[in-house]
Structure 1
């Protein structure tokens, strides 16, 4: 992927993960350019299919596009930062990210937003006014 594309995606996201809102400047690791719809599911390298993503969110998402909640047979798509409003689907409470809608819950479930290490890290950053 061209460096110019990477810069556009990072700048558009204000150098924050578009899923968990972590700022790259407080991360120990470089952020990734993530395909919202993975290539194997017909995604492209177009800017509208790319998101700035921390390594944790990118690792847990993998090439998935959604998951199942409850005992339903309906596939719930993940949050799409190009189409969906973060505040509509998720909320922050003391560093924890809670889904307000099925989309927010599905994204949080698979991305493991509130895994204990990730949660503690965000809480510590919030105390230092470095998150979100």
Structure 2
């Protein structure tokens, strides 16, 4: 999380995202941790602090994404960008099945894989939230 992002911008990003992770859809209110303002295109890759390049992100998604902007396909031949919450619709790229997030497209599958959406601890947590009516 960059400290150079003003508080007013942080608030706008949080409000726009309805205070939930724009990648895995977990709400900040159910997290033990403060959410991050994430650069969709990292500063390292010449991204900016403009609102269009910022996403509200849980610590897990932000950690696994890091400064990456994509990954290679399973065959190692094609570079596939990650899901971009400013350009893409979540439902076009992902589906939820009993707490498991499945990628429906190459972009969705690449994001699921690198963000580790379905690691066991994250999966158990989402299932508990579903049981409590708190997810998505």
Query: TM exceeds 0.5?
Result: yes
May I ask how many residue pairs the two structures share in their alignment? 132
Question: What pairs with 1:1-80 in structure 2 (closer than 5 Å)?
Answer: 1-80=5-84
1:71 offset after TM fit, Å? 1.0
Of 104, 127, 134 in structure 2, the residue corresponding to residue 130 of structure 1 is 134
1:74 offset after TM fit, Å? 1.1
Residues in 1 aligned to 2:75 and 2:101: alpha-carbon distance in whole angstroms: 23
Residues in 2 aligned to 1:124 and 1:70: alpha-carbon distance in whole angstroms: 31
Of 89, 95, 101 in structure 2, the residue corresponding to residue 91 of structure 1 is 95
> Would you identify which runs of 4 or more consecutive aligned residues in structure 1 move more than 6 Å?
none
**Which whole-Å deviations, capped at 9, do the CAs of 1:82-123 have from their partners, x for residues lacking one?**
000100000100001000000000000000000000000000
Residues in 1 aligned to 2:15 and 2:59: alpha-carbon distance in whole angstroms: 17
CA RMSD for the aligned pairs?
0.5
**Which whole-Å deviations, capped at 9, do the CAs of 1:48-100 have from their partners, x for residues lacking one?**
00000000000000000000121142100000000001000001000010000
Residues in 2 aligned to 1:93 and 1:35: alpha-carbon distance in whole angstroms: 28
Q: Give the gaps of 5 or more residues in structure 1.
A: none
TM-score in terms of structure 1 length: 0.99
Q: Give the gaps of 5 or more residues in structure 2.
A: none
